[in-house]
Amino acid sequence: MLIRVFWAYMLGFLVLAVRGEHPERFINLASMRGVVLWDVIWVNQETILVKVAARSFKPMRHIARRTNTRVRIRAKGGLPFVLQRLRRRWMLTGGAITFCLLLYLLSSLIWTVDVVGAKQLDPVQVRREAASAGLYPGNLRFLVNGKDVADRLMREMPGIAFAEVDFRGTQASIRIYERVSPQPSLGAANIVAVKNGVIKDMLVLAGSPKVKEGDLVRAGQILISGIIAPPPPPKTEGAPPPPVPYEPRYVDAQGIVRARVWYRCYAEVPREEVVEQKTGRVATIVSIRLANKEIIIKGPPAIPYPLYNLTENKRKLPQWRNITLPVELVTIRVEEIRLFLLRRSYDEALRLAVQRAQTTMAGQLPAGAVVADHRSRVVNTDVGRVGVQLTVETLEEIGVPQQFAPPNLSPLTSQLRG
């Protein structure tokens, strides 16, 4: 069926109205002559609508004469008739074709080139180097090879470790990853604590540990030392005295030190509090301020509410040739409020105090900290207010490297090492 519809559209078809006393005879005789009819619709007892291929219309005149029916063309469809109508409207056809070609051409151009990931490098320099490889606004998209552009950027700009080019419609995006320059080292480093805590576990990769699990440490205390002392020489009776031991080795201490850290915060909520409530009434005042004068162009001349919240928005005229006019358009939005006394029960005040303490604590906790435990206790329960102290225990890494300059080696140590 789909193949028949396709060929009917490609070769053209007609919608015919067949009228007579016995239109079914027309259908039967057409089938006997090999004429294919489809989409037969009975309008009434004497009229039917049928579709037929355009090339089969001439033989149907003889069928209509023999069956005493009249055949009228109601509609024409298919590619040949579409082309025939377009041929009569050649200006419209030419304009549509030109529009499609221009649309395809404009969609094939590169309109913008964005640089993503440039922190130390100048994006203008990156675009200039990409333009040397053919990636610039105005060039055709299919003429640009993204891999070649990325290779040229990595080859010509030593500060780029990796680059890739992505095309999305008419926009080209250059994503670069800059090389990370190693930080200058003083020669050795310790791992020190950045905050107080109790050591939970530690992993020493390089250096000498100075604390153990369960120790209480203070901020600034050395956790892993970058000074590795030599082992003491063995003592043997009757043997000559041992040689001078090597001096300590100085390394960049490395390791992971996790500790239990505690945070505390306090929040309180009054049992009775005067709060503001919006009434829903709003007034807008629009005025023009010129020097020391103000002209109201919309709204009341004065604020009509005794208690209110005010929001002011000022807009100046755009600058013209380095000339700024002292004229401002001011929009004032006034919301009426009323004050009322809010009374809370003890449970409501306690719940709100805990929520406020949790909100404050969320701002104190560092990113990546794992909360191990939390507890709250009431510390103030007088008649007027309820206070809550929240304590949170976290597990977090507290060790950071701290560089130091090792002393110069003695000549004897240098000779022994050599």
Q: Which domains does the chain have, with CATH numbers?
A: 2-83 (3.30.70.260), 108-178 (3.10.20.310), 188-233+243-259 (no CATH), 272-317+325-343 (no CATH)
Distance CA 373, CA 283 (A): 50
Torsion of CA 146, 147, 152, 153, to 10 degrees: 70
Buried-state track 298-320, b at ≥16 Cβ within 10 A, e below 16? ebeeeeebeebeeeeeeeeeeee
- The CA distances from residue 350 to 133, 266, 269, 292, 386, in Å, are 68, 12, 8, 52, 6
- Note the pLDDT of residue 236: 64
pLDDT at residue 222 greater than cutoff 90: yes
Q: Which residue has the higher pLDDT, 133 or 415?
A: 133
pLDDT in tens, 228-254: 887 766 666 666 666 655 678 888 888
Average pLDDT score over residue span 281-310 = 87
pLDDT at residue 364 greater than cutoff 60: yes
CA angle (303, 305, 308) in 5-degree steps: 95
Look up the pTM and report it.
Answer: 0.45
pLDDT in tens, 23-69: 888 888 888 877 778 888 888 878 888 888 877 777 777 888 888 88
